[in-house]
Amino acid sequence: MNERKALDTAKIEQIQRDRKEAHKFFTDKSKVYRIFTELEEKTFQDGSLSKKHKELIAVGISLVNSCESCLEWHIKQALDAGATLEEVIEALEVGLEMGIGPTTVTNRFAMKVLKHYLGDNI
């Protein structure tokens, strides 16, 4: 295993350990946290959308939120629910577009500022 892969593996394993520790800690001490875990369980159950599709949605959202722990969890959950590599990549692509897409709105404001200072004929 090369050094970079070893570092990545160590980071993923640390995220998993931290999640398990925090999950036990807060489940034992916080009724609000317990309600959150119940919400998560209910949210990701099969319904009109399958668990797999809900997890793929969460993968895209996790990317936009820059949440590495979320990505680790939801990618694993999506794979366990039957998602393929290609489906996870497409979910990441949707997240990528949604992360970049909103900058086009801000870019429109930049255009208005340019027109304000340089005139409409630029």
User: One digit per residue, pLDDT tens: the chain, 122 residues?
Assistant: 688 889 999 999 999 999 999 999 999 999 999 999 999 999 999 999 999 999 999 999 999 999 999 999 999 999 999 999 999 999 999 999 999 998 999 999 999 999 999 998 89
What is residue 1's predicted lDDT score, i.e. its pLDDT? Answer: 61
Length of the chain, please?
122
Backbone angles phi, psi at 63, to 5 degrees: -65, -45
Q: Which value, in Å, is the radius of gyration of the alpha carbons in the chain? A: 20
Determine whether 63 is exposed, middle or buried from the number of CB atoms within 10 Å of its CB (0-12, 13-18, 19+): buried
Say what the pTM is: 0.85
What is residue 78's predicted lDDT score, i.e. its pLDDT? Answer: 98
Task: Look at domain 3-118 and name its CATH class.
Answer: mainly alpha
Residues near 58 by beta carbon (within 8 Å), at least 6 away in sequence: 44, 70, 74, 77, 78
